[in-house]
A and B are shown apart, each in its own frame.
Chain A
Amino acid sequence: MGRNKSEKLKNMCIFALPGIFVFCAVVIIPFIYGFYLTLTDWNGVSQVKNLVGFTNYGEVFKDADFWNSMLLTLKYVLFSVLLVNLVAFLLAYMLTNGVKGQNFFRTGFFTPNLIGGVVLGFIWQFIFSRVLVNFGEATGWGIFSTSWLSDPNKAFWSMVIVTVWQLSGYMMIIYIAGFTGLSTDVMEAASIDGATGFQRLKSIILPLMVPSFVICLFLTLSRAFMVYDVNLTLTGGEPYGTTRLVAMHVYEKAFTARNYGVGQAEALFLFLIVACISGVQIYMGKRKEVEA
């Protein structure tokens, strides 16, 4: 980048410096500063921060609410990731097997992804607390007689349903891209060799779709771990804080309970878990990838 030293320096300042500056100011410095915050007793308002050593990390281990919400989040992530990918894969499989109007369906299924979590949560809050109750009264079906959002277990599944509804269309288009990339030669060869539909799916399609699975699993995992908007507007953590996912817990620890140090320490735990899971998952995916 440049003929001589001063021109090189000038070009670095013009091209790379602004981007690097914003990145550092918004991501790197706060991330590092976050470690420092965990060592203090800051309450968000006062000018003084006292260094308290590692007591905040001790607090994290004593914070039963945090571990409950972490467990709930793991359960939520497990079911969401499985169901989202299952539904998305099936939809993509059906749509790429000659159903007419593929584009129309694809456009429709993708629509929920365009809308922010806040609005989606509100829409479904209306569905669960009014529409389904009304439906239950009209049909006499007991399962809908009271709002799902007032029962801890059903409220949990409401969140999973909304997540599947929202994300499956997104993952579906990634799987569709994977399906359309499958080589027709390989598929024909398999048919000629007498492979049945199921054999083809198991021995050819699934192994060749591994890259798509890796992408979709990565996307759904990271989305599900960090979900906040839908949680906030669909259940708000209710009833009695039983549906509070870890992102919401961290938010409340810091900004509502004004316990910034502990909140940040918990956020770092969340970061570690997400980093480990994504790392393992990408590593396994790369190992299973086959050359097409």
Chain B
Amino acid sequence: MERGSKVGGTKRKILDAAGILVMVAIFLFYMIPFILILLNSFKAKRDIIKNPFSLLAEKGYSLGNYTEAFEKMNYIRSFGNSLFITGLSTLLVIVLAAMTAYYFVRAKDGISKIFFALMAASMIIPFQAIMIPLVSIYGAQLNLLNHRATLIFLHIGFSISMSVFIYQGFIKSNIPITLEEAAYLDGCTKTQTFFKVVFPLLKPTTSTLIILNVLAFWNDYLLPSLVLGRKELFTLPLSTYTFYGTYSADYGTIMAGLVLTVAPILILYLFLQKHIISGVVAGAVKS
């Protein structure tokens, strides 16, 4: 071995090793909150107070915290509510936004221009600037609070601007009008053309928007807390919040509850990490 004759010799290797060590250290710092929550979720309260770091628990490990948290959070019901609300909101906002954006690009009329500009501008309005009149209109005047359908409607309204904006950019630069004209001449109506020809071509943008919207709806707390007051309607973040408030001294149960809340999304992440990351980047860069 002639040292130095190769590009990147010992020095390079030491630097690489040091780089990895630094990264691993930072990585551990990022992961430690999750590790501690998971570790302590199996321990009894006394063991947690004594030493949250210890791997050995005097009282041993048990799944007792989980069964308790599962029951007290009404996990199945809140999970079902979250799934229903997130699923339906995402589906509807995708279809509505794609159709609206398609109309905006192709019609090029005054209405399209006005509402596209309004939607783009509305993206800087903070939620706080709308939430008070929202409660006033949907609560005091229309009396529509405490319905899952209302929450779905509001979710759609808040995310449609961004979704239309991203679809609009994609349709404008990627969908050739000649394709539609061919279908149109073959006797398809605009609606048929859209669903049979255009919508399937929007797939990359659709998957980006599904990811962005699912994450936003699933994790949202403030809007659901304003709309849903009845416990039977609670989504996961809402029931986690009440659960934590009620049992804040039962550390073990709480840790198990937190694990149960983050588990679904982390499991999804395990399988779809590449899609999720590229979806989020695409969403950020385009809007």
A→B interface (CB under 8 Å): 1-2, 7-8, 11-12, 14-16, 18-20, 22-23, 25-31, 33-34, 37, 42, 44-45, 91, 94-95, 97-101, 105-119, 122-124, 126-127, 130-131, 134-135, 138, 165, 169-170, 173-174, 177, 215, 219, 222, 225-226, 228-229, 232-233, 247, 250-251, 254-255, 260, 263-264, 267-268, 270-271, 274-275, 278
**Which single residue of chain A is at the shortest CB-CB distance from B52?**
A131
Shortest Cβ distance from residue B70 to the other chain A in the assembled complex, whole angstroms: 16
Residues of A with C-beta under 8 A to B104: 16
Q: Does B31 belong to the interface (CB within 8 Å)? A: yes
Q: Which of A2, A23, A97, A100 has the most CB of B within 10 A?
A: A23
Contact B30 A233 (CB under 8 A): no
Asked if A25 meets B30 with Cβ closer than 8 Å, knowing A33-B137, A127-B36, A173-B277, the reply is no
Residues of B235-287 at the interface with A, using a CB-CB cut-off of 8 Å, are 237, 240-241, 244, 251, 254-255, 258, 261-262, 265-266, 269, 273, 276-277, 280-281, 284-285
Q: What is the bound-complex CA distance between A124 and B258, given in angstroms?
A: 11
Q: Does B1 belong to the interface (CB within 8 Å)? A: no
Contact A111 B128 (CB under 8 A): no
Contact B99 A25 (CB under 8 A): no
B→A interface (CB under 8 Å): 16, 19-20, 22-23, 26-27, 30-31, 33-34, 36-37, 48-49, 51-53, 96-97, 99-100, 102-104, 106-107, 111-112, 115, 118-119, 122, 124-137, 140, 153-154, 156-158, 160-161, 164, 190-191, 194, 215, 218-222, 237, 240-241, 244, 251, 254-255, 258, 261-262, 265-266, 269, 273, 276-277, 280-281, 284-285
Residues of B with C-beta under 8 A to A117: 219, 221
Asked if A116 meets B219 with Cβ closer than 8 Å, knowing A12-B103, A219-B284, A267-B132, the reply is yes
Shortest Cβ distance from residue A50 to the other chain B in the assembled complex, whole angstroms: 15
Contact B273 A119 (CB under 8 A): no
**Which single residue of chain A is at the shortest CB-CB distance from B164?**
A19
Closest 4 CB pairs of A and B: A26-B157, A116-B219, A19-B100, A15-B103
Q: What is the bound-complex CA distance between A111 and B134, given in angstroms?
A: 32
Residues of B with C-beta under 8 A to A106: 277
Contact B23 A115 (CB under 8 A): no
Residues of A with C-beta under 8 A to B26: 91
Instruction: Provide a sorted-by-A list of 11 A–B residue pairs whose CB atoms are within 8 angstroms.
Output: A8-B107, A15-B102, A23-B119, A26-B158, A94-B19, A95-B23, A114-B215, A119-B237, A126-B254, A222-B126, A260-B132
Q: What is the bound-complex CA distance between A267 and B222, given in angstroms?
A: 15
Contact A33 B266 (CB under 8 A): no
**Which single residue of chain B is at the shortest CB-CB distance from A28?**
B118
Residues of B with C-beta under 8 A to A109: 27, 30
8 Å CB contact of A15 from B20, B100, B153: B100
Shortest Cβ distance from residue B155 to the other chain A in the assembled complex, whole angstroms: 9
Q: Main secondary structure on chain B at its contact with chain A?
A: helix
Q: Name 15 extra pairs, CB < 8 A, besides A23-B157, A100-B20, A233-B241.
A: A16-B99, A23-B161, A25-B153, A30-B133, A31-B125, A108-B31, A115-B262, A131-B52, A177-B285, A228-B128, A255-B135, A267-B126, A267-B129, A270-B128, A274-B126
Contact A264 B132 (CB under 8 A): yes
Contact A130 B48 (CB under 8 A): yes
Q: What is the bound-complex CA distance between A219 and B162, given in angstroms?
A: 14
Residues of A with C-beta under 8 A to B122: 23, 27-28, 31
Residues of B with C-beta under 8 A to A7: 190
Shortest Cβ distance from residue B150 to the other chain A in the assembled complex, whole angstroms: 10
Contact B265 A115 (CB under 8 A): yes
Contact A247 B136 (CB under 8 A): no
Residues of A with C-beta under 8 A to B36: 126-127, 131
Residues of A with C-beta under 8 A to B154: 26
Residues of B with C-beta under 8 A to A177: 281, 285
Q: What is the bound-complex CA distance between A233 and B245, given in angstroms?
A: 10
Contact A31 B262 (CB under 8 A): no
**Which single residue of chain B is at the shortest CB-CB distance from A135?**
B53
Contact A15 B99 (CB under 8 A): yes
Shortest Cβ distance from residue B20 to the other chain A in the assembled complex, whole angstroms: 6
**Which single residue of chain B is at the shortest CB-CB distance from A120?**
B33
Contact A173 B280 (CB under 8 A): yes
Contact A16 B240 (CB under 8 A): no
Asked if A16 meets B137 with Cβ closer than 8 Å, knowing A130-B52, A222-B124, A247-B128, the reply is no
Contact A112 B30 (CB under 8 A): yes
Residues of B with C-beta under 8 A to A264: 132-133
**Which single residue of chain A is at the shortest CB-CB distance from B243?**
A122
Asked if A14 meets B191 with Cβ closer than 8 Å, knowing A19-B164, A126-B255, A275-B124, the reply is yes
**Which single residue of chain B is at the shortest CB-CB distance from A100?**
B20
Contact B33 A123 (CB under 8 A): yes
Asked if A105 meets B132 with Cβ closer than 8 Å, knowing A14-B191, A229-B222, the reply is no
Shortest Cβ distance from residue B91 to the other chain A in the assembled complex, whole angstroms: 14
Asked if A118 meets B30 with Cβ closer than 8 Å, knowing A12-B103, A27-B125, the reply is no
Contact B284 A215 (CB under 8 A): yes
